[in-house]
């Protein structure tokens, strides 16, 4: 009889920024298939998802990946259900209207690697600041590059887990990095991003680091770029229409629902979306070809391909929930009725 360790991962009920929780279930003779992952439960009163007198919440497995860091291990992404089997109010995944996987998403996750001892980003001296941003972006060498060992190990873990991991680069501030994922299907994109975040956070336990997802951890008045999670998205229409007017109609559908998007694009995003540092103001909306200061950028590759491609929403913050972000984008694109 063989035994396997299934790490059940879910999102708690903290608002507006949810946290990952996980626990291990040991099962016998496991097939490795999602359909053979049993439903499980947890104490919702400990995660702000239930009252103590009726505390059971259910964990419904929705995606499974081999766990490259554990022998006979699997990572099981789950969504939270109430005891009666209905989606919990904290369950953003259940709100995504993309059951046919027509929507494709590519997320660009920026983050800071923080030293647990100093509570500062890597490369920051105690009581001061490193050289201004400029030399850190895509840099090489010990003077400007900090944390590469962890970043490379995280990339290897994601690839070994079967996540569609597309790249890494150091970002504009010291200790700031980015990784990119792509998935066909809005729910799948969210599943893979959360599991990739889980692998990154768990890995820091070995280094004495932690990951800071706050979009402006150095303070809103500091002259440093913040951290975002740009959302590149397309559906069949965007991939095939070949029509500038259709693209513009879809972009315009975002204009009247700015507040609805910002509401799910991440906490403290007002500190990042100031109109400076390659951002549009949080209260305004704009779109433009190859414009990184716009709310939505139309990539030059889309234009050069005859208006067949994708769009990039540059507003989501690094701490945003990819489920909620994708769900809101899908809703708005569908509202354009093209």
Which range of residues forms the domain containing residue 241? 104-335
Whether the CB-CB separation of 334 and 254 falls below 8 Å is answered with: no
Angle at 192 between CA 186 and CA 196, to 5 degrees: 145
User: What's residue 27's pLDDT?
Assistant: 97
User: What's residue 132's pLDDT?
Assistant: 87
Which candidate, 89, 245, 249, 111, places its Cα nearest to that of 178?
Answer: 111
Q: How many domains does the chain have?
A: 2
Angle at 249 between CA 244 and CA 251, to 5 degrees: 95
Residues 6+ apart with CB under 8 A from 213: 111, 227, 318, 319
Query: How do residues 24-59 score in pLDDT, each as one tens digit?
Result: 999 999 999 999 999 999 999 999 999 988 899 999
Which one-letter DSSP state was computed for residue 135?
A: S
Which one-letter DSSP state was computed for residue 132?
A: P
Confirm whether 259 is domain-assigned. yes
Q: How far is CA 209 from CA 126, 156, 158, 205, 307, in A?
A: 16, 18, 19, 7, 43
Confirm whether 97 is domain-assigned. no
**pLDDT tier for residue 223 given thresholds of 50, 70 and 90:** confident
Confirm whether 99 is domain-assigned. no
User: What's residue 229's pLDDT?
Assistant: 98
Residue 49 shares a structural domain with residue 141: no
Q: Which residue has the higher pLDDT, 218 or 166?
A: 166
C-alpha dihedral, 255 to 256 to 261 to 263, nearest 10° = 140
User: What's residue 186's pLDDT?
Assistant: 98
Confirm whether 96 is domain-assigned. no
CATH number at residue 186: 3.30.590.10
Q: Which of 40-44, 124-128, 174-178, 223-227 is predicted with the least confidence, judged by mean pLDDT?
A: 223-227
Residue 165 shares a structural domain with residue 64: no
Residue 23 shares a structural domain with residue 125: no
User: What's residue 277's pLDDT?
Assistant: 63
**pLDDT tier for residue 100 given thresholds of 50, 70 and 90:** very high
Residue whose token pair is 């100093």: 118
Confirm whether 98 is domain-assigned. no
Query: How do residues 140-194 score in pLDDT, each as one tens digit?
Result: 999 999 999 999 999 999 999 999 999 999 999 999 999 999 999 999 999 999 9
b/e per residue, 136-162, with b = 16+ CB within 10 A? beebeeeebbbbbebbebbbebbeebe
The residue among 91, 114, 149 that closes a domain is 91
The percent of residues in the chain predicted with pLDDT above 70, rounded, is 100
Residue 198 shares a structural domain with residue 294: yes
The residue among 91, 121, 156 that closes a domain is 91
Residue 31 shares a structural domain with residue 117: no
Residue 213 shares a structural domain with residue 243: yes
Residue 151 shares a structural domain with residue 80: no
Residue 79 shares a structural domain with residue 109: no
DSSP calls for 217-253:
TT-TTSSS---BEEEEEE-HHHHH---HHHHHHHHHH
Confirm whether 291 is domain-assigned. yes
User: What's residue 219's pLDDT?
Assistant: 81
* Bridging pattern class, strands 296-298 and 287-289: parallel
The residue among 91, 119, 135 that closes a domain is 91
Residue 160 shares a structural domain with residue 215: yes
Confirm whether 59 is domain-assigned. yes
CATH number at residue 25: 3.10.20.70
Tell me the C-alpha distance between 330 and 93, whole Å. 12
For residue 41, give both structure tokens. Answer: 């439960």
Tell me the C-alpha distance between 83 and 226, whole Å. 40
Residue 273 shares a structural domain with residue 133: yes
Residue 164 shares a structural domain with residue 207: yes
Residue 237 shares a structural domain with residue 331: yes
Confirm whether 266 is domain-assigned. yes
Which candidate, 32, 183, 167, places its Cα nearest to that of 98?
Answer: 183
């Amino acid at each position: 009889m063989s035994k396997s360790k299934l790490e059940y991962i879910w999102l708690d009920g903290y608002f507006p920024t949810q946290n990952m929780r996980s626990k291990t279930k040991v099962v016998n003779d496991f097939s490795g298939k999602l359909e053979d992952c049993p439903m499980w439960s947890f104490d919702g009163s400990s995660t702000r998802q239930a009252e103590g007198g009726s505390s059971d919440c259910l964990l419904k497995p929705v995606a499974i990946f081999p766990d490259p860091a554990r022998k006979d291990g699997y990572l099981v992404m789950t969504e939270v259900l109430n005891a009666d089997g209905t989606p919990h109010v904290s369950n953003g995944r259940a709100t995504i209207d993309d059951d046919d996987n027509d929507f494709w998403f590519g997320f660009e996750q920026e983050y800071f690697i923080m030293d647990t001892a100093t509570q500062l980003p890597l490369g920051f001296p105690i009581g001061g600041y490193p050289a201004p941003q400029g030399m850190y972006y895509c840099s090489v060498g010990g003077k400007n590059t900090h944390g590469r060992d962890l970043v490379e190990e995280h990339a290897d873990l994601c690839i070994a887990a079967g996540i569609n991991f597309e790249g890494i680069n150091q970002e504009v501030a010291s200790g700031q990095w980015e990784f990119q994922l792509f998935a066909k299907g809005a729910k799948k994109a969210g599943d893979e991003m959360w599991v990739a975040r889980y692998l990154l956070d768990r890995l820091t336990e070995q280094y004495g680091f932690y990951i800071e997802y706050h979009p402006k951890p150095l303070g809103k008045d500091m002259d440093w770029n913040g951290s975002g999670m740009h959302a590149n998205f397309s559906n069949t229409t965007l991939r095939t229409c070949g029509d500038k007017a259709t693209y513009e109609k879809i972009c315009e559908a975002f204009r009247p629902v700015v507040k609805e998007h910002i509401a799910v694009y991440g906490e403290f995003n007002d500190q990042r979306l100031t109109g400076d540092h390659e951002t549009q103001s949080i209260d305004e909306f704009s779109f433009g070809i190859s414009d990184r200061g716009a709310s939505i950028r139309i990539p030059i590759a889309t234009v050069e391909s005859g208006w067949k491609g994708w769009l990039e929403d540059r507003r989501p913050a690094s701490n945003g929930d990819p489920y909620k972000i994708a769900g809101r984008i899908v809703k708005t694109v569908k509202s354009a009725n093209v």
